[in-house]
Structure 1
Amino acid sequence: MMTAVGALATRAVGRAVRYLFEYNKWSACQEPQNIVQWNVTLFSILLVLGGIEFILCFIQIINGILGGLCGLCCSHEEAWNQLMNNDSNGKAVLATFGKMFEKLAYRYLTDYPAWSKCTEPANIVEWNIILLSILIALSGLQLIICILKVAAELKRTLCGTYSVFGQEVHECKMKLFLLSCWLASCCCQAGAVNREYFIGITETVWNYAPGKANAISGQLFAEIFLKRGPHRIGSTYKKAVYVQYTSHLYDEIVDKPSWLGFLGPIIKGEVGDSITIHLKNFASRNYTLHPHGVRYTKENEGAFYPDATKDLQKRDDAVEPGGQYTYTWDVTEDQGPAEADADCITRAYHSHIDAPRDVASGLVGPLIICRKDTMKRDSDQHFDAEFILMFSVVDENLSWYLEDNIRTYCFEPSKVDKDDEDFQESNKMHSINGYMYGYLPNLTMCVEDKIKWHLFGMGNEADIHSAYFHGQTLIERHHRVDTISLFPATFIDAVMVPRSPGEWLLSCQVNDHIEGGMQALFKVEDCKKSTPGHNKSIKTRQYFIAAEETIWNYGPSAVNHFTGQELIHDSESHIFFEQSETRIGGSYKKAIYKEYTDGSFTEHKKRLAEEAHLGLLGPVIRAEVGERIRVTFRNNASRPFSLQPHGVKERMCTWHNFRSSHVSPGTTFTYEWDVPEDVGPTEEDPDCLTWIYYSAVDAVRDTSSGLVGPLLVCRKGTLLSSGKQKNVNIEFFLLATVFDENLSWYLDDNILMFTLNPDKIDKDDEDFQESNKMHSINGYMYGNQPGLEMCKGSVVSWHLMGLGSEADVHGIYFSENTFVTKGTRRDTANLFPHTALTAIMKPDSEGVFEVSCLTTDHYTGGMKQKYKVKQCHWWNVDLSTYLHEKIYYIAAVEVEWDYSPNRTWEFERHQYHEESPGNPFLNKDDKFIGSKYKKVVYREYTDQTFSTLKIRTKEQQHLEIQGPLLMSNIGDKIKIVFKNLASRPYSIHAHGVKTDSSVVAVTNPGETKIYVWKIPERSSPERGDSRCIAWAYHSTVDIVKDTYSGLIGTLIVCHRHYLPSFHSEKKVQFALLFMVFDENESWYLDENIKTYSTNPHLVDKENEEFLESNKMHAINGKVFGNLHGLSMHVGDNVSWYLMGMGNEIDIHTVHFHGHSFNFKQTGVYRADVFDLFPGTFQTVEMTPQNPGTWLLHCHVTDHIHAGMETTYTVLPKEDKQSLFPRLFNQFKCKAKPGTQE
């Protein structure tokens, strides 16, 4: 028997040793969520057992001593027998206690409801150390007792009884081993930190501008936002906010920095920490606390939505008034900073009952996550100061307290119309941390301080922010910037080292937000720190530039070069070019920058042929690092203007003396800007950074009038004597903006000069205003831009710039060619107001191609031009070979599409609303269509007969409205056999690929055509990309209407791998399209009205409510949780291919609850939200570790309420498949062309 037990023990030990060396098995193990509570329970059990055993051992020794006194050891064996009998009795007593304890312990450990309610004590780490110290002391005493027992047994052995000596020695060895284990455990526990916060939700009164005047300009406030009145609330609102307290008594508030405004307290943690939030709700309605960027279990998520949980796992979903709840989060490695991230990254927390309304009510705060061992006293030890700013148009119309605010602050509350547009606009507070017009306090720092800025956005479609730090530059994700783009739930961290003392403006440069007061001042003090010296012998580049008034024609050829029709008659362009009694037409008086040869300003400097494309842009200002720019500026216009640059250091200039650089008409002023090393390109930047300069007397009206130009800051030694770049063949500068002529200083002049009956003009008429919004590139529309010509194979540097207002969300698309920017491969660049980027292209396709904005209103509005690639040299011949051919059989098929076949999830999700926000979109009333529409979709067939539809697998279920997921590698030739089974002409064309013709063939109904796409290296991932990247494919007969009608899909291009993968993790992939399908733009609108509307004759297609009802905020064509099939297992390698398409409202910030993901832009970064815009295609990668059903949604307020939400499910870890079947499956998959690899 003993032999068998020994053999069994030997095998167990052997397996244990082998297991310790099998790193791949146990390295993926994760700490349980409540590891500290488990430790307390287990150590408490050990303490009880240790205490009992100590008592029994003590009794044994006393009895042994008494027995020994009764006679000599060797002659009175009965004493030792007595000792052993007592030992047996002691073991019996211990066994009795053990059985009782075992029974009780089993009941307790299996009674989940009983112990899951327990919360961690305040000083859990200290408690653990104390308990472990006690255990160590007891273990030491036990070891001493054991040694005494060994001595006693040694005597017994000498007397002839040997049998139990080995047993006693063994017991003492085990106690020594346990003591060592406890010591090791103590060391491990002492390294973990639990950060505890006591947070209350309180209702308070908040004033967005606690003063009488604009703190920036000194002027009195505009009435629209801040003045109280009979039907206006003013600047003060009742809000709910998070407040930190010192203890569980909630009787003493912890002070926070004044610049935090109404944001909640700063919560911080580093990898390896646990964060415990004791939340108490002092407010009058239910709220929660939900975090971004940490790991939590379902009962610690703090978010209400249908997630298949119940009972205890639902308690976190709502904390009632007066109630309390404790949330526990873990800061795990997969949620912390990735390798390219900063040491501390920005996240946020907010209430999530109805997140849009909760946040609008004020419940939001910052969460900072750091690498292990980088925090010192709750701050990042590498920085002198840090500031956290939230840019948000806080919509008080969505606040839970709107009614209270109307009753309290409006003079005539009973007469307030909450649906009045002017009233609603007055409640949209353009704020930074809840302050407007310069009232954000105490942003103070020293010259040469290293400053960390944590920035994030929250809100709605209007929340497009360009946070501009005047007079400074920053490093953001290893790139040099001075303006940071923010969107709802975008989290950014950036580093600044201010070198210019004074008070500087921090503002959102979006036109509407400047006027709305989204501005603050930050103060840089001279604290006498050492500053780097600059070489006094600086090369100076001299420019002579004047502001001049001119008549500018947006369409000088009078032709739409995409349709061949005259601009005044073309269906798209006549809105903007019609000249009539109440319309200005296509020509406007504007002010533009012009370059002169010298300071006499008598001779214009002629533009070269390669500069013809610049249009109304000012001259290109260039400089290398280490140089100085001197601009002599003359104002030949009729009103004051200036010249303000991005991206350089302005000499002798701060915000308060900035007005001295405003130049009156007829006068001259000289600006001097330095280009030190600290404003130049970083290692990750291109050779030349693209910036803009503009007039800033009134930044909105000056730029709308035309005063803007490009500025390049280049590495030392990268410019030729002519100013051109050494490493490129040709440069192009493109400014994409909707020039709003309604905001121009010259609007009245233009009305008088160009309208046929100026007296009839109503400047507030919406149609008149729309006719003056000129969707242009460099001031040209509909293909009228000259000079975009280049040679095949040349290196082209595109300098792309944005300007304007909330509508200026641009996706600038270059058809048939790709470019590289920030280390990634793209064919579309996203631009926003006052942002710019440099893109390097090497065109390999000849012909005339399109450069256009993919934002649909901008595309139809004329923001599209043509560029020409010529064969200039005989040696530029494409020698690429495409040896691997894939064939897909795809048809355009008309179907009935239901965006929401089941509304159960929707109604549960929005049970806190009086009625579901989905009703306006999904209810089928007399004048509306409902959830069903006729659409056309791409579908795959088995062969060229198109008789058998290819059934989608379980893994492809999630694609829904999308066409088949097409897979390819570098060097592939994809042949699409396309049949048009629909009732009107369509085509199929992909982004990123190479074709033999610049013209995409049209396939008429019933026809079949073959489209060939080649995948050269320039279509594949760049060095900064993931292994696979996504492109969209769609119909191009009418790119807008075809896409809205349903024709879109995803093409994946990967690096080719010739060897099978030996990774044990399963690879899973999902392709998601975030897009507001505007059914008003569908080819089938009239048919849908007739088919699905109850009373078609009552439908008014121009009615705003009808138009809104047909905008379906969908993920892969499904709304309100109706997208299914997003299922994976713990440990899977998951690739999410995210795509954005659509219009100005298609700003999508895609948020994954429960997990973070990695994305690549040269380096690897981590996030739980990714920003999508029209023409954005991005791969993000995730290794899920957190089982459960998790929310996946767009974080934009209107999109949440309109149903752009679903869930994804992470199942427990799947049993791993052995190596040989996996290898076989890989080879088998490769043997079938057209299948996924």
Structure 2
Amino acid sequence: MWSSSASLFLLLSSVTTVSCITREYFIGIKEIQWDYAPTGKNVILNKPLKEDEQAVKFLERGPQRIGSVYKKAVYLEFTDATYRTEIAKPKWLGFLGPVMSAEEGDVIRVHLKNMASRPYSIHAHGLMYNKSNEGALYPDETTNAEKQDDQVDPGKSYTYLWILSDSHSPTKDDTNCLTRAYHSHLNAPKDIASGLLGPLIICKKGTLDVYGDKAADYSYVLLFTVSDENLSWYLDDNIKTYCTQPTGATNPLSPSGQNPSKPTVPNPQQLSINVDKEDEDFQESNLLHSINGFVYGNLPDLSMCVGNKIHWHLMGMGNEVDIHSAFFHGQILTHLGHHTDTVSLFPATFTNVEMTADNPGQWLLGCQVNDHLIAGMQAWFEVKKCFPHVHKARPTGDVREYFIAAEEVLWDYAPSQVNHGTGKPLNTDSDSETFFQTGSNRIGGKYKKVHYVEYTDNTFAVRKERSPEEQHLGILGPVIRAEEEDTIKVVFRNKATRPFTMQPHGVQYSIEQSGTLYYNELEESYTAKKLRELKKETRTVTPPPAALVKPGTTHTYEWVVPKEGGPVKDDADCITYFYYSAVDPVKDTSSGLVGPLLVCKKKTLKNGKQKNVNKEFHLLATVFDENLSWYLDDNIKQFTKAPNTVNKEDEDFQESNKMHSINGYMYGNLPGLTMCKGDKVSWHVSGLGSEADIHGLYFEGNRFIYRETRRDVINVFPHISHTVMMEPDSMGQFEVVCRTADHYQGGMRANYTVEKCSMFSRQSEIMLHSKTYYIAAMEIDWEYSPNRTWEQEMYHGLINSPGKEFIDKQEKFIGSKYKKVVYRQFTSNKFTQQKERSADMQHLGILGPILHADVGDKVNIVFKNMATRPYSIHAHGVKTDLPQIKETKPGETQTYTWYVPKTAGPTEEQETCSVGAYYSTVNVNKDLYSGLIGPLVICRRSFARTFGLKKEVEEFALLFLVFDENESWYLDDNIKANIKNPAKNIKEDEEFIESNKMHAINGLMFGNLLGLNMVVGDKVYWYLMGMGNEVDIHTAHFHGHSIDYKLSGRSHRTDVYDLFPATFQTVKMRPQYPGTWLLHCHVTDHITGGMETVYTVSEKEKKGFFG
């Protein structure tokens, strides 16, 4: 115990220079019965759950269904160490633990008592702790005395000591308070799924008073998560307790054999589990799409007054499905210094937004991801008019009027019938034929849809024809533009055959003008109320006209762009939103109803168009799911050759109707993206859809500016939009594509052209410096898990390890060793001597070498292909002589030249160095999964670095990627080498396919990534990289330390950074706390799949008297 006590003393002494207080919490872990829908209703629609066909899938009890009530473990707060008196928490917190908060310098002392039936712990994000107070069990080379915090057994207690040090507290550019979380970390995925999670608010000095954040009238915490009860420690208990008749048993709930209307709860010990826990429908029923543990509007007590300053602390947690777009209807939020109304959340994303409540009424908030909307991830908050005599000033800007109709149309996703990537017909090309082949059970590439169309006036007699500059809009509706303080009036005519509406993002409106259909008790006028009471009638609530515009009718919408609700100083002139129909938001948008909406700075529009740009382009990236369209039956009837034989539940049929498109066009068929070299171009990029709609849009050939950072990839998600500014300096035809593997292969690709339009153009930069790298592509046998010691200790024996299905070499599985191809560096163009990796480059694993370039460099890559098939080498951000990258055949050598002008390097508002990837482009997906990728680091030129005078930073490059070996060029080789007598259909076997998905950091799993070593006080750059597919949401979490990143010239702090396909980010760390610390992806399946390692911080060596 001495070492633990000494460590504790050192921890406390580190904050003695800062005046602080000790905040004491008595926390108990208790098991409770939790009801996800205690009202028994879908509150959003005011409908009993049993009458809602979607809600019953999750919430109705049955012989094989648990229902809405589950046993869970939760954190509760008590008054003192007797744990007799519980401190009541607000009802809106749901099953979350109590809110803990601290200011910089404060000590948090948590007395944890485990009153549950199994061991748990408590681990904090964003706070300083030593190894005796981390609360996380993993192999970290600590003594038994330092592991007592990792597991608190039933009936036992442990006191944790945490400190909000200056290295974890908000930066000067952050808001006063930041959102973090605490959770049990004995087995984090199962502990969290069981309910053990709570909010932690960390603040700058002087921010808090006895009521919380002094700057807020109200603060609320919201957790968006798909609670996966299949992963709960209590699944068996819940089956025994709540399934009304487990298979093979008589119903114990009714002695007479009759089913009672409200059955009592049986004794779980009297029942045996005969429910099939692997049944997909059963598992789906246990995925509760909740906010704070409530579904379908059951979250209570979110209430505020008009004018109140509200701080929302938002949290995400969970698995690969936990991509969330939290939309606050009718309000404007401030997030990271920018205005929005929708915020992205992912597993272990913690963020906060500020809002000034406006417009009285009951407003929706919820996740806009299609599957999550359907499954009930919605709530509402009430804005009350508490001061009735205070009137809001009328907007002083212009009134901008639009005449828009919803019209049905026959839409062609590829009018040329050609895949412009390959030049082949769409119905015969291997990638595209899935979507474009017609047949007895296939629709093909043409669908009946509905879209927004602009007219010249309210007679809706004359269409407003699209100009050549607008041809690229495709399926999108007309662009609506307005400046701050303008009023937008949209006269909407429904010319379709079913009800539709217009629901905007980014503007404000009265509750009566909401275009979303839900149960909304609008304020009843005094006269109407008295008349109704006189007649003794009950009140009937009908939807306002704005929420249900019937066919053949017209409604006029009025929206306002509030003052200080538009772009901020460092934004582009116009920020991007969109409008859509929301009678049924999922079906309406899947049918085609969506259009762009721009909110602009004052005096930046002229005649309704942007005046400070030469070209304006809008891109909507989405997988249009025609299975969810209102017109699916019409399309089957019109386009399939045997409509009566179509099975709408057939997976292949459903896949054929998922159209991976940009503006409704696929495989390079999007027209009109043409610009001149040197033009100032604004790109307005949006996402829409469901869990698969994780988009990394890559602009080949030219970079852009996004929030004062220079990039060539922008990530969008459902209902998330961005504006990026480009001044193209490379001419030719280039692609803009989604880098998510399935989307790229599925046709989410377009071409844009940069032309020389003027005789006078800026002179190209002269590259005064050159460097040469000798890189080869080599085939090797790669071992994902060369040592299983860490895994064995983590899971108390390999027999318990979830890694078995990936790493064990069984009868029909390949195991952990695969033939792959990698980039490796050589010393000269003879390619006889490979350059050995130094100790500080050991961590690179499967990655190629870190290639460095400074702005102004000409980089020559002498590339030798030592592999057995063609490959190439190309990088994000660099300039090349030609847009097309030539392949290098086996055995050949070719020199690729990369130019690094100023437009390729980081801006002055970024870190000194930015990271990108280099990779092979012969077949982007298969080359990547075969192993060809490495980091390219581009820096602003530095005198010291140019002449090699000093090593400025420690550098670590990390690639988070699920290597899908099923997509490797070498899959057949690997089957042949590792499996005796493989089945003929082995490549279609689901278990085999899953076993080949290697959840790796730099190609290594389960603690096998070595060499992440640093010393206290080092300046460390982490080059974080994400690539891959729809499953590749990665939330990189650093135990022990926080990291800083830059956006809009401001420095922000976190301990989790979100990565997606083609995401590259430099983050900075100053390690201060010695120890071996966990570094992992926080996504549940990625943790169990082995995407974990450790980094080690050592004490600085003490120098002698003479140094």
Aligned to 1:224: 57
TM-score, length of structure 2 as denominator length:
0.92
Aligned to 2:567: 681
378-387 or 569-578: which moved more? 378-387
1:1174 aligns with 2:1061: yes
1:700 offset after TM fit, Å? 0.3
Candidates 653, 668, 679, aligned match of 2:513 = 653
Distance 1:878 1:598, change over 3 A: same
CA–CA separation in structure 2 for the residues paired with 1:1098 and 1:669: 61
3-state SS of 1:590 partner: strand
1:1065 offset after TM fit, Å? 9.4
Deviations 1:302-345 (A, max 9, x none): 00000001211011110000111111011100000012111110
Aligned to 1:725: 610
1:423 aligns with 2:282: yes
CA–CA separation in structure 1 for the residues paired with 2:667 and 2:943: 46
Alignment of 1:441-590 (within 5 A): 441-528=300-387, 533-535=392-394, 538-590=397-449
Aligned to 1:855: 740
Distance 1:1218 1:437, change over 3 A: farther
Aligned to 1:263: 96
CA–CA separation in structure 2 for the residues paired with 1:1076 and 1:625: 44
The answer as to whether partners of 1:792 and 1:871 remain within 8 angstroms in 2 is yes
The answer as to whether partners of 2:318 and 2:1084 remain within 8 angstroms in 1 is yes
The answer as to whether partners of 1:1130 and 1:1214 remain within 8 angstroms in 2 is no
Aligned to 1:321: 154
Deviations 1:57-114 (A, max 9, x none): xxxxxxxxxxxxxxxxxxxxxxxxxxxxxxxxxxxxxxxxxxxxxxxxxxxxxx8269
3-state SS of 1:1166 partner: strand
The answer as to whether partners of 1:1065 and 1:1132 remain within 8 angstroms in 2 is no
Candidates 772, 775, 780, aligned match of 1:895 = 780
Letter in 2 for 1:582: N
Number of residue pairs the alignment of both structures matches: 1046
Higher helix share: 1
CA–CA separation in structure 2 for the residues paired with 1:880 and 1:237: 65
Distance 1:224 1:1216, change over 3 A: farther
Letter in 2 for 1:589: K
Letter in 2 for 1:364: L
3-state SS of 2:447 partner: strand
The answer as to whether partners of 1:501 and 1:526 remain within 8 angstroms in 2 is yes
Letter in 2 for 1:418: K
1:663 aligns with 2:496: no
CA–CA separation in structure 1 for the residues paired with 2:622 and 2:594: 11
RMSD: 2.1
The answer as to whether partners of 1:278 and 1:326 remain within 8 angstroms in 2 is yes
Letter in 2 for 1:523: E
The answer as to whether partners of 1:231 and 1:415 remain within 8 angstroms in 2 is no
1:416 offset after TM fit, Å? 1.1
1:330 aligns with 2:189: no
Aligned to 1:795: 680
| Structure with more contact order per residue of length (Cα contacts < 8 Å, sep ≥ 6) | 2
Letter in 2 for 1:1101: K
3-state SS of 1:543 partner: strand
CA–CA separation in structure 2 for the residues paired with 1:785 and 1:1218: 71
1:941 aligns with 2:826: yes
Aligned to 1:102: none
1:969 offset after TM fit, Å? 0.7
1:874 offset after TM fit, Å? 1.6
3-state SS of 1:259 partner: helix
Aligned to 1:353: 186
Aligned to 2:902: 1017
Alignment of 1:255-404 (within 5 A): 255-377=88-210, 379-404=212-237
Aligned to 1:740: 625
CA–CA separation in structure 2 for the residues paired with 1:1218 and 1:112: 30
Aligned to 1:97: none
Deviations 1:837-860 (A, max 9, x none): 000001110110010000000000
CA–CA separation in structure 2 for the residues paired with 1:322 and 1:538: 65
Candidates 654, 657, 661, aligned match of 1:776 = 661
Distance 1:1062 1:851, change over 3 A: closer
Letter in 2 for 1:299: S
1:678 offset after TM fit, Å? 3.3
Distance 1:118 1:754, change over 3 A: closer
Report which of the two structures shows the higher radius of gyration computed on alpha carbons. Answer: 1
Letter in 2 for 1:292: H
3-state SS of 2:691 partner: coil
CA–CA separation in structure 1 for the residues paired with 2:284 and 2:487: 45
238-247 or 532-541: which moved more? 532-541
The answer as to whether partners of 1:225 and 1:235 remain within 8 angstroms in 2 is yes
1:1025 offset after TM fit, Å? 1.4
1:118 offset after TM fit, Å? 9.8
Structure 2, gaps ≥5 residues long = 50-54, 247-272, 523-542
Deviations 1:842-887 (A, max 9, x none): 1110110010000000000000011101011122143301011010
Candidates 811, 815, 830, aligned match of 2:715 = 830
CA–CA separation in structure 2 for the residues paired with 1:1180 and 1:529: 49
Distance 1:1097 1:649, change over 3 A: closer
CA–CA separation in structure 1 for the residues paired with 2:933 and 2:595: 37
Distance 1:1111 1:1092, change over 3 A: same
Distance 1:224 1:1082, change over 3 A: same
3-state SS of 1:272 partner: coil
Aligned to 2:253: none
3-state SS of 1:612 partner: helix
3-state SS of 1:298 partner: coil
Deviations 1:740-789 (A, max 9, x none): 00000000000000000011111101000000000000000000000011
CA–CA separation in structure 1 for the residues paired with 2:906 and 2:1105: 31
CA–CA separation in structure 2 for the residues paired with 1:1217 and 1:756: 87
1:720 offset after TM fit, Å? 1.2
The answer as to whether partners of 2:915 and 2:1066 remain within 8 angstroms in 1 is yes
3-state SS of 1:1087 partner: helix
3-state SS of 2:935 partner: strand
Distance 1:1216 1:306, change over 3 A: same
The answer as to whether partners of 1:1065 and 1:1133 remain within 8 angstroms in 2 is no
1:200 aligns with 2:28: yes
CA–CA separation in structure 1 for the residues paired with 2:1040 and 2:662: 42
Letter in 2 for 1:557: S
CA–CA separation in structure 2 for the residues paired with 1:953 and 1:1062: 17
Higher strand share: 2
Alignment of 1:713-1112 (within 5 A): 713-721=599-607, 723-911=608-796, 915-1059=800-944, 1067-1097=953-983, 1100-1112=986-998
Letter in 1 for 2:42: N
Aligned to 1:53: none
CA–CA separation in structure 2 for the residues paired with 1:188 and 1:488: 35
Distance 1:1208 1:966, change over 3 A: same
Letter in 1 for 2:578: I
Candidates 223, 237, 242, aligned match of 2:75 = 242
Deviations 1:350-382 (A, max 9, x none): 000110100000000000100112111151111
Aligned to 2:538: none
Distance 1:1216 1:1058, change over 3 A: farther
The answer as to whether partners of 2:871 and 2:921 remain within 8 angstroms in 1 is yes
1:1022 offset after TM fit, Å? 1.7
Letter in 2 for 1:604: R
CA–CA separation in structure 1 for the residues paired with 2:797 and 2:715: 37
CA–CA separation in structure 1 for the residues paired with 2:679 and 2:443: 41
TM-score, length of structure 1 as denominator length:
0.83
1:211 aligns with 2:101: no
Letter in 2 for 1:1045: S
Distance 1:113 1:567, change over 3 A: closer
The answer as to whether partners of 1:268 and 1:378 remain within 8 angstroms in 2 is no
The answer as to whether partners of 2:501 and 2:549 remain within 8 angstroms in 1 is yes
Candidates 97, 107, 112, aligned match of 2:2 = 112
The answer as to whether partners of 2:396 and 2:485 remain within 8 angstroms in 1 is no
1:685 offset after TM fit, Å? 2.1
Distance 1:517 1:382, change over 3 A: same
Structure 1, gaps ≥5 residues long = 1-110, 126-184, 1222-1237
